[in-house]
Structure 1
Amino acid sequence: MQPSIGISSEHTLAVAQSLSAILADEFLLYVKTRNAHWNVEGPDFHAKHLFFESQYEALEDVIDSVAERIRSIGHYAPATMQQYLQLTHLSEMNREANDGQGFERLLLEDHETIIMHLRGYVKTFAEDYKDAGSSDFATQLMETHEKMAWMLRAHLR
């Protein structure tokens, strides 16, 4: 049964497709952050290990909220690695060194990429698709990523 929430089915489909790309980005970033948590090495191992853990735990909540937003507007969330890799704006991480600053730089780039995409979705969702709820949701996600990016940037000073 399709929800009757004051947004046309064409618009909820378009929003769901955009949210699916966001979900793919979030999931890939989560995997990359887990990788950093598991594989970081160096004299600051313990601090970085705990820092990356706090970041991936925050991303777990983000992933769940994006999938639930897709469901709340009447569509199914993608849930396979194949779908995520097809939908994401990010690339998988290939690293030779496992130092904390290297991981932080790569993760920071991904957060900033996500922030830029979210910034575009805020206006599109509200104006083009008449979905203020998804626009507000994208704004909240953007703010979450801005804070996570700030934390990464602070480690790189």
Structure 2
Amino acid sequence: MLRSSVVFLTCFHPLDKEHYMAKPTKNSSAAPRINIGISDKDRAAITGELSKLLADSYTLYLMTHNFHWNVTGPLFNTLHNMFMAQYTEEWNALDSIAERIRALGHYAPGTYREYAKLSSIAEPDSVPDALEMVRMLVKGNEAVAKTARAAFDKADAANDQPTADLLTQRLDVHEKNAWMLRSLLQ
């Protein structure tokens, strides 16, 4: 016994958008307003400080990586490895800072021009000797710590625990890095 099946296909004219386009609902294209218990004013102030932290962190990352590539002298192996550990950690932290800025509803800076305006860290004009690299990285880590501390005050005042936690972690890393680098100079 042979069975036949008949399938009915409904075809719509390509210009008949009503049948195949999603219909927008009221305000469907507008994202809901951020309502996380932190005012717009406080979120703007916090992200302003986090943007400075991102710029300082990126500048320090780049300087550390540059010094890793270019260090020479009797401390080469020690510094080469230390710088690699530090720039790797710094690189991984950049995403957390930028994502926190986004979570607070603002765009993260991401260009060299923006970082140059926001960063408090001076870049070297040439490749310094090994001990000057260490001195510059001490200052760079201390600068990032100061920037994180300023941001912490704003986050704490706004009761923004996730940002405060992120900043506490960054303070711990940069203060420890500064101490370890400073110890090489004593």
TM above 0.5, one fold?
yes
Query: Aligned with 2:128: secondary structure?
Result: coil
Question: Structure with the greater relative contact order (CA < 8 A, sep ≥ 6): 1 or 2?
Answer: 1
1:2-151 matches, cutoff 5 A: 2-95=33-126, 97-99=128-130, 101-127=131-157, 129-151=158-180
Q: Percent identity?
A: 37
CA drift of 1:107 comes to 0.6
CA distance in 1, matches of 2:127, 2:134: 14
Counterpart position of 2:19 = none
Change beyond 3 A, Cα 1:97–1:16:
closer
Q: Distance in 2 between matches of 1:54 and 1:140?
A: 16
Instruction: Label 1:42 to 1:87 Cα distance change in 2 as closer, same or farther (>3 A).
Output: same
Q: Which has the higher helix share?
A: 1
The runs of 5 or more residues in structure 1 that have no matched partner are: none
* Aligned counterparts of 1:3 and 1:141: Cα–Cα separation in 2: 26
Structure 1-normalised TM-score? Answer: 0.90
Q: Name the CA distance, whole Å, in 1 between partners of 2:96 and 2:178.
A: 19
**What is the rounded CA distance, in whole Å, between the counterparts of 2:140 and 2:127 in structure 1?**
18
Displacement of 1:94 in angstroms is 2.4
Q: Max radius of gyration: which structure?
A: 2
**Contact kept in structure 2, 1:39 and 1:98, CA below 8 Å:** no
8 A Cα contact 2:50 2:151, kept in partner: no
In structure 2, stretches of 5+ residues that fail to align are 1-30
1:123-149: CA deviations, max 9, x gaps?
22211x332322222122111111111
- CA change 1:83–1:5 in 2 (3 A) is same
Q: Which runs of 4+ in 1 moved over 6 A?
A: none
Deviation at 1:58, TM superposition (A): 0.8
